[in-house]
Chains A and B, each alone.
Chain A
Amino acid sequence: MTATTIEAPRSPSRPVKRRGVNWEKWGWIYMRASGIVLIVLIFGHLFFNLMLGDGISAIDFGFVGGKLADPFWQWWDVAMLWLALIHGGNGMRTLINDYATLPMTRGVLKSAVLAAVVVLIVLGTLVVFTFDPCPPGQPADLLPALCAAR
């Protein structure tokens, strides 16, 4: 409730319409499209990890490793990773546009979100595809059951 001095709303003459891709529109469409797909992916993920079997207490390297050895779950998780991070990142961009009024802050925050999203997508994708479910020299009781067959 402090009397902050503000620019008159809607005053800066906006630049005339830029050419090229309209990120606002496609972002808006993307939020909806990805949202639909994410429901399936996230609910499937949650159900499989938390509801089946012993749920959270059963999760360990063996469980996750076993899942990620399967190309089906690999693609599932990668899709989830990409869609959710971009969805969330774009959502955060909206929030920053709303609440960060100084161009500086805005720029910094948006770069931070972008960096986080890019780094995590790259990291996550690499992990999923370069991951070895049966790392050599590890105690067998930590590894997924399928390693025993090797």
Chain B
Amino acid sequence: MPQQTAGTLTAAKKSTTSPRPAGTLYRGREGMWSWVLHRITGVAIFFFLLVHILDTALIRVSPEAYNVVIGTYQTPLMGLGEVALVGAIVFHAYNGIRIILIDFWAGGVKYQKLMFYIVIALWVITMLGFTPRHLINVFSH
């Protein structure tokens, strides 16, 4: 674009002196926080998945090897970790549906905040269903 503006002439100087404005944390709303969570959970799941495939691959090595590794998944500490993991997956999945609805459903944008709260509600319900059952399995053995 041949268009010039005032910025042009002093461009060189500016790029060396301009600090990036950071400042306070931006106070976004439901949309932003849901994205932050979606991102964090996505990354967490990804790294877990890398490990999970590797450990599952041990079944190709030998039953003992596999059982040793999977045994560590059954300790109480890991049991709590699994709750976190499932929590992450469940949030990521439900919020993923919310995002897909925003993208493809005509009313999605309008109801995005409501859908965020529905995601939270469904997440709570799902976790209420899962956590006790799982922790009983972890701690009763």
**A contact residues, range:** 35 or more
**CB within 8 Å of B: which A88-115 residues:** 88-89, 91-92, 95
Interface: B54 (CB within 8 A): yes
* A61-B93 in contact given A56-B134, A88-B46 (Cβ < 8 Å): no
Task: Name the contact of B60 in the complex, choosing from A60, A95, A127 (C-beta under 8 A).
Answer: A127
* Bound CA–CA A91/B93 (angstroms): 14
Do most interface residues of chain A lie in helix, strand or loop, or is the interface mixed? helix
Does the CB pair A43–B93 fall under 8 Å?
yes
Does the CB pair B97–A142 fall under 8 Å?
no
Contacts of B63 in A (CB 8 A): 61-62, 65, 135, 138-139, 142-143
B114-137 interface mask toward A, CB cutoff 8 Å, 1 = contact, 0 = none? 000000000000000010011001
* A56-B74 in contact given A39-B93, A88-B42 (Cβ < 8 Å): yes
* Bound CA–CA A38/B19 (angstroms): 43
Contacts of B18 in A (CB 8 A): 5-6, 8
Interface: A42 (CB within 8 A): yes
* Bound CA–CA A76/B125 (angstroms): 26
Please name the residue on chain B nearest to A134 by beta carbon.
Answer: B63
Task: Name the contact of A4 in the complex, choosing from B19, B23, B60, B79 (C-beta under 8 A).
Answer: B19
Interface: A3 (CB within 8 A): yes
* A95-B141 in contact given A46-B89, A60-B66, A84-B49 (Cβ < 8 Å): no
* Bound CA–CA A19/B81 (angstroms): 46
Please name the residue on chain A nearest to B136 by beta carbon.
Answer: A55
The chain B residues found within 8 Å of chain A, CB to CB, are 11, 14-16, 18-20, 22-23, 39, 42-43, 45-46, 49-50, 53-54, 56-57, 59-60, 62-64, 66-67, 70, 73-74, 79, 82, 86, 89, 93, 96-97, 99-100, 103-104, 130, 133-134, 137-138, 140-141
The 10 A-B residue pairs with the shortest CB-CB distance, nearest first, are: A3-B19, A55-B137, A61-B63, A88-B46, A57-B141, A142-B63, A35-B96, A1-B22, A127-B60, A61-B66
